[in-house]
A = this chain, B = another copy of it.
Amino acid sequence: MAKDIYVGLLGFGTVGTGVVRVLQENAEDIAQKAGARIHIKKVLVRDITKKREYLEKVELTNRPEDIMDDPEISIVIELLGGLHPSRELMLQAMEKGKQVVTANKDVVAQFGHDLFDMAEKHNVAFRFEASVGGGIPIITPLKECLTGNRISDIMGIVNGTTNYMLTKMAEDGSDYNAVLKEAQRLGYAEANPAADVEGMDAARKAAILASIAFNTRIQLDQVSVEGITNIEPADINYANQLGYVIKLLAVAKDYGDRGVNVRVHPVFLPSSHPLASVKDVFNAIFLRGNAIGDAMFYGRGAGSLPTASAVVADVISEARDIVNDQSSPIGCTCYNKRPFCPLEDTESSYYVRLHVKDEPGVLGAIATAFGDSNVSLKSVIQTRMVGTNAEIVAVTHVVKHSHLQKAADILSSLAVVDKIRSVIRVEAE
């Protein structure tokens, strides 16, 4: 083992601790695989006086330049999170000729382009396997193992918090607020859970996945986002009765000449679908390619050690390149400029739940509203009374989203309709 490789670590939170632990505990094997000993030389932290586990022999600093200007450091791991100064520090590290690894989905989704440009300019590698799906290998498989395919569909459970909540709602019959509290108690949801439950976390990962899968840059603001805050126990029950489970999915689809669409929303998924059995905080990315057919990658989407697994793998890949005096053969893969297909032009089957007046002719009025909007129905059932209202559940055939929206507008305007309680896409049938 001739070589030693020195790493600068920006940030020492949950994932940072995991990275240092993995590099220490598996040091012998990692040295064999990388062809070099990998040392964390310096760690950027706010408070350099605080004692920290696993960092006894490591230099702490609160000045980024101590890392940037250290010529011995050839790899920088960014684990600060957030957009700034993460972006700037990664760009600086690249300018200084250092390889970069990050787990930061925010930065990759928002500033991936800048980072790839800079990496290319300075002939350094930029890796971010941990930014989607935590420990699950998905970025590298897309960039290296599925390259013979044109990918047409991605459906990912990429947010563990919401998958845990939906699993508990389905298993225990609890309502949204109760499972949110439980998730917070267990540390699966943050005090401010907005980024998870409103779908923005999943949207960032969707943008990253879609950009790589379709080889075209997807901007975060193109992704339409709907979270799980409106899911009620009634929806979970109907899903179950009808042979579905409800999952929050990151969906990316290729609509051919119409372009690609990327979105995050809850879906009804057939209970026989491989994603349906992905429970609790586990993540999985399901995809379809024109050679491989259907495939799925499953594992832990968050947590100290699983995320560290992905970060350390990226570090080892970069170390191998350094040892072999080579540069990473794969940079930015967005060589296409695909149009973005607006949500209105996508199609799907839909589940619609309504509260209506309990009087003669209501079913007919509702069926007419759907029919006038070119939405054909697979089934309409009047199921139970909720107070003085009757609850009606309709499942449509595959229809254009814009037609479904028109139907919803008409339905909302009907005097007999109290409220549309839920509209949820049915996927993968």
Contact = CB atoms under 8 A, between A and B. Distances in A.
Contact of A145 (B18, B310, B320): B310
Contacts of A303: 293
Contacts of A335: 32
A196 interface: no
A300 B309 contact: no
A163 to B, nearest CB: 14
Nearest to A274: B298
Given A129-B145, A140-B145, A309-B289, A333 B33 contact: yes
A30 B321 contact: no
A310 B316 CA distance: 23
Interface string A131-143: 0000111001100
Q: From A145, A278, A296, A311, name the one whose CB has the most chain B CB atoms within 10 angstroms.
A: A145
A148 interface: yes
A335 B274 CA distance: 36
Contacts of A320: 329-330
A58 interface: no
A80 interface: no
Given A147-B33, A149-B26, A277-B277, A295 B298 contact: yes
B135 A140 contact: no
Contacts of A315: 148
Nearest to A300: B293
Contact of A321 (B33, B148, B329): B329
Contacts of A308: 148, 291
Contacts of A323: 329
Question: Contact size class for A?
Answer: 35 or more
A334 to B, nearest CB: 10
Contacts of A59: none
A21 to B, nearest CB: 8
Contact of A141 (B34, B140, B317): B140
A305 interface: yes
Contacts of A23: 148
Contacts of A255: none
B147 A30 contact: yes
A131 to B, nearest CB: 14
A300 B306 contact: no
A335 to B, nearest CB: 5
Given A141-B140, A149-B26, A309 B326 contact: no
B324 A324 contact: no
A291 B305 contact: yes
Nearest to A149: B309
B148 A292 contact: no
B26 A135 contact: no
A374 interface: no
A150 interface: yes
Nearest to A19: B148
Nearest to A129: B145
Interface in A257-291: 274, 277-278, 289-291
Contacts of A298: 274, 295-298
Contacts of A312: 147-148, 291
A299 interface: yes
A423 to B, nearest CB: 29
Interface in A60-91: none
21 contacts: A26-B150, A29-B150, A33-B147, A33-B215, A33-B333, A135-B291, A137-B141, A140-B144, A141-B141, A144-B313, A145-B310, A148-B309, A148-B311, A148-B313, A148-B316, A274-B277, A274-B278, A289-B309, A295-B299, A295-B300, A324-B327
Given A34-B147, A147-B313, A324-B326, 5 more contacts: A137-B137, A291-B308, A292-B299, A296-B297, A326-B329
Closest 4 CB pairs of A and B: A148-B312, A137-B145, A295-B299, A291-B309
